[in-house]
Structure 1
Amino acid sequence: MSPKRTQHTPLPRLVVISAPSGAGKTTLSSLLLKEFPLLQRSVSTTTRPKRDNEIEGTHYHFVDDITFREKITLNHFAEWALVHGNKYGTTRASIESILLSEKHPVFDIDVQGAMNLKALYGDRVLLIFIHPPSLEALKERLIQRKGDSPSSIENRLKNATSEIGWSQKYDYQVTNDLIEKSFLELKNIVFQECFKRVL
């Protein structure tokens, strides 16, 4: 049973996790969701082709470019950005649905989207940036992940440098060298910021 909200209970936080592609943000956010029942994944909409291991509505909502642009025109997105040549966005309706259920939405989004959410929701947004151990380690992870062409990997590595430059604007930074260690650090951050005040 979820705790009842009172006038002293803080409103749900919006937990934003950003990282260069391949740094482990999806894995870490999935572990967080298993750890805390009052967290709920915010499923982004994207024009990116679906990977073999991805499920529609679980990992992303996959749409074509025309549909995405229609949603932009209709102001459906709280945030959207062009990343690695594909569009990604989070609908206002999906965020409000989670907030109304008194859960904390978790966003696995890029730095552009993170800054847009921060501008929209202010201090309710908790920004966490995941660093790879090094760019060389990041390259190895991208190669091992498969599904990305050599040119796509090079493009993601170039973008990683720019993304890391934005990390100073985040509330917390975590280096993902060992997944168990990184998750413990991330879990403690989320507990302190989202749950400790309501216990």
Structure 2
Amino acid sequence: MPVAPPDPANLQTEQDVPHPVLLNTWKHHAGWIRERISAAVRAGSAGVAALPAEMAVVGSRLMDLYVGTLKPATIAEAVIADLNTRGLFEFDPLAKWLAEQGAYALTELPDRSTWTIRLGPADGRYLHLHPGRWARHTMRVQANTLRSAVMAHALARLTGRAANELEVVNEARKQYLGMLPVHELTGTGGLGAVIAALQAPA
């Protein structure tokens, strides 16, 4: 029996990112996206068809996608631990420190990836994390490129084909995203590279 796709409103909980961290995994975490594609495919056609609406949180701009091996919760917990040791975890000292840094600060994690810390609202997930720009284990990605790569993988797995086939990519773009076909799968930072980044490890 197909599994119902998750409610997009509850995705932050399902990402198991501890409060008060906000980490938009649709925009910033390739490993989580791979797992989300797998869950959608297990849910069948309805699960795959639900993905475009979920990806509304991706927006329309360039983003930095983490392609390393650390889980979202591991990233969050590492930053929390570091801030705690420096007395910067609570909202007020964090807000003061970030203001002194020019509204954001950078921190390096054990895998040498760099993450940006920003401040969110005091009454919610006020510790906002996203990958550093042009940092180790990240790639710059256009929003529609990411959407296309996600749907190519989902359609390929649903139909037993390969996500890096141009025919599959264009079928996914038309069927799920209402986008025009592309003529090639471009390399570094392009659609071909993002499809490769979202490929499940062998």
The TM-score with structure 1 as length reference comes to 0.27
Higher radius of gyration, 1 or 2? 2
More strand by share: 1
Question: What is the TM-score when the length of structure 2 is the normalising length?
Answer: 0.27
Higher relative contact order (CA 8 A, sep 6+): 1
